Amino acid sequence: MTPAPARTPTRFAPDRQWAERASAPLRLLSGPGARPTPAEVAALAAGLLRRDEPAAALARAVREDRTVSMRQVHDALAHGVPDGADVPAPLRAFLDAVRVRPVWVDDALLARGARACRAFGADAGVVLAYGSLLGGYRTAAALEPLARTGRLTGAEALRRIAETTTWWRAVTAPGGLAEGAEGHRLALHVRVMHGFVNHQLEQDPTWDWAERGVPINQYDQASTLGVFSTSFLLHLRLLGVRVSRADARAVMHLWSYVGWLMGVDEDWLPHTERRGRRLLYHFLSHDPPPDQNSRTLARALVHMTDGIGLPAWRARYERERALSAGTWLLGPAAMRDLGLPLRVPWYGVARVASNLWWSHLVGRLPGGRERLAAHGERVFERQVARWGTDGAVPGPAA
């Protein structure tokens, strides 16, 4: 394995003026004391040089030492390993590292967080696509590993949404994070696949260590977790969704456990919404500005339903909805950064109006949460069917 450089990669805070401007809303939402301390800045820089070591050790055992086979890895993730079974030591070490849950994990909070996520319905799907993913493309921080796969344009954008949707629905399903459940299995599957991608890129002589550090590093993994937790809740509120304090706490707890399963450093698990906002501000305020990969990915996401057989009017509607939702959720500056045209934010206004009924009125009535969850599930399923994203190979898109 190629060692990471001792010096901070040059992608760390290369344009402070851009980063401060892009992260200013998060700083304001984080409250007093949002700015990182010198020790926290040093930890951010060091995070670019740290990988998920348990996954890295397993990847080395498969690719270099040949002491573990891919079939053994897949079987262990799919079916578990019975006590006393003869398992290669590196695979056993990885499984042991994730088998004992942290003491802070609360099953009641996991269940409430999952119910809340599913109850957000179509708004959740829109936020994942045009808030979380599109917003994540605004910075070039974590995009180079994805660019190396060649999965930037055409049908690959829809495939990334498919993978993210399948993974998201699994980890937010009732009981989805219990050991052996689909969400638990897929979280570990993604973690292992990240380990293999990292191993491959670390052996690539063209990988620029001085600029980028470890390909899939702790900094980028923790920042991505913030996109699916903290940013997710902020964008839902922008669509008029009522997110109670109890639900927000449960959602952040759920994603903290998902992050732990996927190898995010304990020190960077968000746990609470305020902590999540502060962490996300720290990452964005030290990220590099967008590059051509950012703009290519953004355009592909907006046009992801082109060529899948939708009627012309529907395909145009999906594109215009994407641009309108992006303008509403991310703001004009982010859209300009991504090279995307601005649109009148009609979609956001329409969702706020709709959610005044569904989220703020129906959701508060007796039995309203159950009706809201059932309605949200139906709408989300229709959207998944329309995008053609059901049943894809799972994993969060970069």
Span 340-362, mean pLDDT? Answer: 93
Asked if 229 and 270 touch (Cβ cutoff 8 Å), the reply is yes
Per the structure block, which two tokens stand in for 28? Answer: 């304001």
Question: Confidence class of residue 237 from pLDDT cuts 50, 70 and 90?
Answer: very high
- pTM, two decimal places: 0.93
Asked if 48 and 6 touch (Cβ cutoff 8 Å), the reply is no
CA atoms 338, 339, 345, 350: torsion sign:
negative
Other CB atoms within 10 A of residue 266 CB: 10
Task: Please report which helix (H) or strand (E) contains residue 328, including its range.
Answer: helix 312-330
Other CB atoms within 10 A of residue 265 CB: 16
Span 190-219, mean pLDDT? Answer: 96
Question: Confidence class of residue 391 from pLDDT cuts 50, 70 and 90?
Answer: very low
Distance, CA of 294 to CA of 307 (rounded, Å): 22
Give the mean pLDDT of the chain.
91
Span 228-256, mean pLDDT? Answer: 97
Of 101, 90, 156, whose CA–CA distance to 303 is shortest? 156
Q: In terms of residues, how long is the chain?
A: 398
The per-residue DSSP string of 192-236 comes to HHHHHHHHHHHT-TT--HHHH-SSS-HHHHHHHHHHHTHHHHHHH
Whether residue 84 has pLDDT greater than 80:
no
Asked if 134 and 330 touch (Cβ cutoff 8 Å), the reply is yes
Distance, CA of 186 to CA of 167 (rounded, Å): 7
pLDDT greater at residue 63 or residue 368: 63
Helices (H) and strands (E) in the chain, counts: 21, 0
